[in-house]
Amino acid sequence: MNKVPVLVTGGAGYIGSHAVLALEDAGWPVAVIDDLSNGSREAVPPDVPFYEGNIADRALVERILGEQRTQAIMHFAGSIVVPESVEHPLKYYANNTLASHALISAAVAAGVKHILFSSTAATYGAPERVPIDEDDPKIPINPYGASKLMTERMLEDAAAAHPFNYGALRYFNVAGADPEGRAGQRGKGATHLIKIACEAAVGKRGHIAVYGTDYPTRDGTCIRDYIHVSDLAEAHVAALGWLVEHPAENLVMNCGYGKGLSVLEVLDAVDKANGSPLERIMEGRRAGDPPELVAGNARLTSTLGWRPKFADIDIIVGDALRWERKLLERMAPAAS
């Protein structure tokens, strides 16, 4: 396969940095653009060309695409927090939809051949059935999901009119960290369940809040399909290879294991990994949360031949917790 030069937007962020590692491990030439609003410079390996800036900066993006002879873009840069999107919807339409418009425009002008987009299960809204298939109705219930769905639509229309193909990977709940300890979730102000629970486990927080115990689920808490970030990164490399080999076709697929866990089940796994129980405080529902999201992943497994390596909540939580301890050690003054 022709391993073309890839630009990773948001490559200093959580999922993007794991994708950079997976691309490098598989021998693809990689460069990164990230404005470091949430990402960290240290997350990008030193041998990877790094550009600090925003993807909406058309002049910068065009310069990078030329310098790097970019033929493919993996597009992760964006805002990702559901409740924040409810409070600040225009931020989400700016950072996700408008910025993607600028990036796609620059890519079309530069003749980029493949764009792989980081989309989300939030495009489905509150689905009528689970597992969710890609063709099921997409009726987002929060601005985050809407902002991503608009970008998918832009890509679909632009790919029909211009000579590039695209993939949209709809992630379910991404968690864990590189099993070799090379990367993990940094970023301050975490909002995602497993990250927050691991922060509580290492003592950065006093307790963990459970948002909503009256959902129509087996234990009243929300059900999500948690996927290990390194399995997701592998899915990106496989999807990019597929786009290169099928230049006349596009790819839209769910990324998840097809198995749902409740908030309480996840917290049980964290307690087990930690060896002692976290204090749980039951609170009301959080804005914008659908009760249950589980991926139908037949396309992912059949089209890409992708097989997960870490499809076990104990592995996900174990890797996340190890990473959190590592972050804590780095913060702590060296022991004498």
Nearer to ligand UDP, 25 or 283 (CB): 283
- What is the contact mask toward ligand UDP in residues 270 to 289, using x (rule: CB under 6 A)? ----------------x--x
Peptide bond into 131 cis (omega under 30): yes
CB-wise, 50 or 171, nearer to ligand UDP?
A: 171
Minimum CB separation of residue 286 from ligand UDP in Å reads 4
Handedness of CA 87, 125, 19, 6 (dihedral sign): negative
Determine, following the binding rule CB under 6 A, whether residue 20 of this chain makes contact with ligand UDP: no
Binds ligand UDP by CB under 6 A, chosen from 4, 94, 102, 209: 209
String of DSSP letters for 75-142: E--S---HHHHHH-HHHHIIIIIIHHHHHHHHHHHHT--EEEEEEEGGGGBS-SSSSBPTTS--B-SS
- Closer to ligand UDP at the Cβ: 146 or 196? 196
Listed ranges 87-95, 188-196, 227-235, 270-278: which one lies at the site for ligand UDP (CB under 6 A): 188-196
Q: Of the two residues 150 and 222, which places its CB atom closer to ligand UDP in the complex?
A: 222
- Write out the binding residues for ligand UDP, residues 79-98 only, by CB under 6 A: 82
Per the rule left: phi > 0, alpha: psi between -120 and 50, beta: everything else, 212 is left
**DSSP notation for 233-284:** HHHHHHHHHHHHH-TT--EEEEES-S--EEHHHHHHHHHHHHTSPPPEEEE-
Applying CB under 6 A, which of residues 64, 116, 201, 222 lies at the interface with ligand UDP? 222
- Choice between 23 and 232, CB closer to ligand UDP: 232
Q: CA 165, CA 3: separation in Å to the nearest integer? A: 16
Establish whether 51 is a catalytic residue: no
| Contact present, 73 and 103 (Cβ < 8 Å) | yes
Catalytic, out of 14, 144, 171, 226:
144
Least distance to ligand UDP from the beta carbon of 273, Å?
A: 17
Q: Which residues form the interface with ligand UDP (CB under 6 A)?
A: 82, 173, 191-193, 196, 208-211, 222, 224, 263, 286, 289
